[in-house]
Structure 1
């Protein structure tokens, strides 16, 4: 990915994060150091969009929408350099994603195309390990053994700027009222 862009991430409750922590700890025992980002689903990547407009939209969206329950039922790989846990994809999750993109899908650019509605290729996932194939390939059998399906809950949306990473705002989904803009 080239220059500056914004990312909207779905963050999880503590119970869901504990499941990911167990997987991260098992990866550490195998000598792999997971990324420092919290477990999340990337919901959108935006390029050339005014920061305040994006923050306002995510704030409005989060007040009106409750995230669907997630059932992380499998692990997968993208190529040979990313391993992830993924939730079952159902209509509720796809509708949540589609509604988030109603306003600014055209700002996905090349960087965020695969997360956009127009691509029709979004793969909701939480990255577990990312790196060179010789590092990731040995982790796959281990993760297959360690992974057990679990139910999860997305409770908050985060807006971050990349590169470098800068946290901009955190917005609790419907039913929560702890808005935080950094």
Structure 2
């Protein structure tokens, strides 16, 4: 069993959520189930923390949600990393996104992304054309922040940023 941990994630507006989920659903309909966690909102991971820090992280998430305005991001590319086992869609990094991330750990060596598929190299290579066919550059909004615990998955909190 994997170690338990907390995960803070940035969430999107409804249109962005739907667009990204539709691409992921197309992968699923084409037989790509992958190893990524299912039934989560589309997101950018901002940080992970030990479970014994839950009350501190809940307080921090609430504070950040009350101080952060919703902001626009532009998704311009797809990519792979993690030994070619992770296929993702990524936004251009902007000041608002970096500022949000810095609340939960430094940005050095951080690539903001939304995972579409975690799988073996062969399946990732077969899935790329499907994502490429449906992906187009688009603007979205970061509007929410989520806190989850993993293994098993437990939703703790979702808050909206300031309008």
How far the C-alpha of 1:39 sits from its partner, in A, is: 0.7
Q: After the TM superposition, which residues 101-116 of structure 1 pair with which residues of structure 2 at under 5 Å, given as runs? A: 101=104, 116=105
How far the C-alpha of 1:24 sits from its partner, in A, is: 1.8
Please say if residues 157 and 171 of structure 1, whose CA atoms lie closer than 8 Å, have aligned partners that are also in contact: yes
Is 1:145 matched up with 2:139?
Answer: no
Q: After the TM superposition, which residues 91-130 of structure 1 pair with which residues of structure 2 at under 5 Å, given as runs? A: 91-98=95-102, 100-101=103-104, 116-117=105-106, 120-130=108-118
- Count of paired positions: 159
Is 1:88 matched up with 2:112?
Answer: no
Gaps of 5+ in 1: 102-115, 176-182
Is 1:172 matched up with 2:155?
Answer: no
Gaps of 5+ in 2: none
Normalised to the residue count of structure 1, the TM-score between the two structures is 0.80
Q: After the TM superposition, which residues 1-182 of structure 1 pair with which residues of structure 2 at under 5 Å, given as runs? A: 2-33=2-33, 35-47=38-50, 49-78=52-81, 79-98=83-102, 100-101=103-104, 116-117=105-106, 120-175=108-163
Please say if residues 71 and 143 of structure 2, whose CA atoms lie closer than 8 Å, have aligned partners that are also in contact: no
How far the C-alpha of 1:68 sits from its partner, in A, is: 2.5
CA–CA distance in structure 2, aligned partners of residues 28 and 165 of structure 1? 20
CA–CA distance in structure 2, aligned partners of residues 11 and 58 of structure 1? 13
Please say if residues 67 and 96 of structure 1, whose CA atoms lie closer than 8 Å, have aligned partners that are also in contact: no
Please say if residues 67 and 93 of structure 1, whose CA atoms lie closer than 8 Å, have aligned partners that are also in contact: no
CA–CA distance in structure 1, aligned partners of residues 85 and 132 of structure 2? 16
How far the C-alpha of 1:66 sits from its partner, in A, is: 1.4
CA–CA distance in structure 1, aligned partners of residues 52 and 45 of structure 2? 17
